[in-house]
Structure 1
């Protein structure tokens, strides 16, 4: 019997996810940084763009298909690589299966709870996302493991700032082991949401927070906390490091976390096939504007040399249309997927993608566009004259 999905839009999914998840888990999902200005700004930017609907020549069919990183997908929404999807027993495998069913690609984080092998087995269009953790030999081993698993593309994420402050509180540090003392410490959180914890027990498992894609030199799978300590101790990659990584992989390659024209041009120079404009969902420098505001400037600078994607704050199909009209090839959706996953597992993840696809079609019907390739900036109304903020570099 199909799982009933208890939400009809992503605002409902967010409210339900907050009620379902233990507080510490919810804080990790909601995330953000410092006062949360950028977290809110990512949503606000979309609200400052509107449409001018038409009543004549409305389309009767829609072509939403596109190609990103060599992968043909049915509509321009990809699942962003988001770590530790053990907020539900279905985890990354459930999200990947939902994405495959929806006809799109899934991103798999280095910090995932499921392995690249397991995820690629259920979605052939899997993109493995790499954080720079450890030495080059460790990174090379992880890249080759993703290649053997069948990953179609490699994403390197460069925009994490390691800022631990949030005005509304931060979750406790993830464990470095799951010994008896740790289990006792975490028990009140788990038991505060018995239905959530019970969903794991019914599967005969517990959310142990291991990260199989960040295996160590001996092939051992570390706990999240152990891997995180190594991440914080690893110097950030240089341009030469990323160039080495691009050559090592050799296939479709995306750099995620770009915020300036200068960095976008450097990505072109190192041979990237795509970039994603991103502030890490509000988790980078608080006070940085939404990538949507400088999307047109970056597209103008490098859009004829590299596919430009964008992520952050996408909650509706109309948001996707706005991004495409400003020049994006496609969008990546992360936090919204977690809301759906928390509410109803794989079925909830699929519902998020279905809601976005329906919203794209409805918006395109309203503005008289039958193909995403026909979308342009003239389809939008700027409600705030200060909307566009060109990058300063």
Structure 2
């Protein structure tokens, strides 16, 4: 017998902000709190979004184009809009997790980024979206890292993202969310008061017969068991941090293995961007880890233009951090980004309505990009420059 959803409502939402409100209403507080995150006082996570509001648009009153294009080749792949999926770990906001996100990315013609801390395997995700880039932290010894690269390549990943911008800034002024080591009977009983008040979330998992998976299958050794999220986190904390020589080594191993793009994520300085070029990377992502890293780091959009001016002629420059609207995407492209990556935005969509919710987020952003292109009087995202923006004095940081 088919079980009907007793909480069924109009699933469509008109903005990422609405998706976030629906996610907050649907998710247990610890799960929602893990998505909001942000380190220490939350200065960086706030600035990531607020900085976009400081940039104005300079529209034309006539001479608009009836047809507008937002397609672009990014990292060797043509995408239908310059918005990519940024890799985020353990997506327990929905039973389908990263697979739902990958299907949405594939349906909307863009690139999927898969975290090696994900709750779904790289094999499942690549099957759902062939244009998947596998993301790795610098964890474990070199043999372990090569084994993980080989698995991703064998699965069909078309690029590697190295995320190296984590620090130990974990304390939050508003308190860290409770994330269990594993979800077992004892944990479910202890957390029941926080979960039972969210019947829609329980219903989604209940109808699939699943419980939230907090393991990291992509970190499992050959023939071994997947570590828990905290087991993976411990491996990272006990791995000596990488040098620039290590970055070059990682890039060389991936290039020898796959020959596909290597992206360095987490760049926030011009001198680091130049060293990334020297290390041979294909692209960098200007990022502060969504405000989850060292608090007090300026918004990624403030750092973008100086870095793009310095190295944009040699490698592709991406940006992630704080993108919630199509106009945010346009501002980033005008300041030199080849494309942007989104994180929390699609997680809100996933929590609100699964794969369809992620597709809804893409459609919201697409509509906003198109509206901005129309108002600015350009026919393509390729025409965007800083002259289309009103940029306050002192906005850029370098």
User: What are the superposed Cα offsets for residues 171-229 of structure 1, whole Å, 9 maximum, x if unpaired?
Assistant: 12441x44443333333333231221221010111102111111136532111121112
Tell me the equivalent position of 1:67. 73
Does the CA contact (< 8 Å) of 1:174 and 1:224 recur in 2? no
Aligned counterpart in structure 2 of residue 270 of structure 1, from 279, 284, 288 = 279
Does the CA contact (< 8 Å) of 2:183 and 2:212 recur in 1? no
Does the CA contact (< 8 Å) of 2:26 and 2:351 recur in 1? yes
1:165 aligns to 2:176 (yes or no): no
1:201 aligns to 2:195 (yes or no): no
1:224 aligns to 2:229 (yes or no): yes
- The offset of 1:6, in angstroms, is 4.1
User: What are the superposed Cα offsets for residues 3-39 of structure 1, whole Å, 9 maximum, x if unpaired?
Assistant: 9424210111111111111111011100101111111
Tell me the equivalent position of 2:239. 234
- The offset of 1:90, in angstroms, is 2.0
Tell me the equivalent position of 1:329. 338
Find the aligned partners of 1:271 and 1:293 in 2 and give their Cα distance: 25
After TM superposition, the structure 1 stretch with the greater mean CA deviation from structure 2, 9-18 or 191-200, is 191-200
1:81 aligns to 2:87 (yes or no): yes
Tell me the equivalent position of 1:192. 197
Tell me the equivalent position of 1:244. 249
Q: Unmatched 5+ residue regions in structure 2?
A: none
Tell me the equivalent position of 1:386. 394
Tell me the equivalent position of 2:300. 291
1:33 aligns to 2:33 (yes or no): no
Tell me the equivalent position of 1:343. 352
Find the aligned partners of 2:306 and 2:213 in 1 and give their Cα distance: 43
Q: Tell me the SS of whatever aligns to 2:144.
A: helix
Task: Please show how residues 140-179 of structure 1 align to structure 2 within 5 Å.
Answer: 140-175=146-181, 177-179=182-184
Q: Tell me the SS of whatever aligns to 1:309.
A: strand
Q: Tell me the SS of whatever aligns to 2:162.
A: strand
Q: Tell me the SS of whatever aligns to 1:58.
A: coil
After TM superposition, the structure 1 stretch with the greater mean CA deviation from structure 2, 192-201 or 369-378, is 192-201
After TM superposition, the structure 1 stretch with the greater mean CA deviation from structure 2, 95-104 or 158-167, is 158-167
Find the aligned partners of 1:238 and 1:192 in 2 and give their Cα distance: 47
Find the aligned partners of 1:309 and 1:12 in 2 and give their Cα distance: 26
1:8 aligns to 2:8 (yes or no): no
Find the aligned partners of 1:199 and 1:140 in 2 and give their Cα distance: 37
- The offset of 1:230, in angstroms, is 1.5
Q: Tell me the SS of whatever aligns to 1:163.
A: coil
Does the CA contact (< 8 Å) of 1:5 and 1:351 recur in 2? no
TM-score by length of 1: 0.95
1:354 aligns to 2:363 (yes or no): yes
Paired positions, count? 388
Find the aligned partners of 1:237 and 1:172 in 2 and give their Cα distance: 29
Tell me the equivalent position of 2:328. 319
Q: 1:236 to 1:217 in 2, by over 3 A?
A: farther
Does the CA contact (< 8 Å) of 1:27 and 1:169 recur in 2? no
Does the CA contact (< 8 Å) of 2:117 and 2:229 recur in 1? yes
Q: Unmatched 5+ residue regions in structure 1?
A: none
Does the CA contact (< 8 Å) of 1:3 and 1:347 recur in 2? no
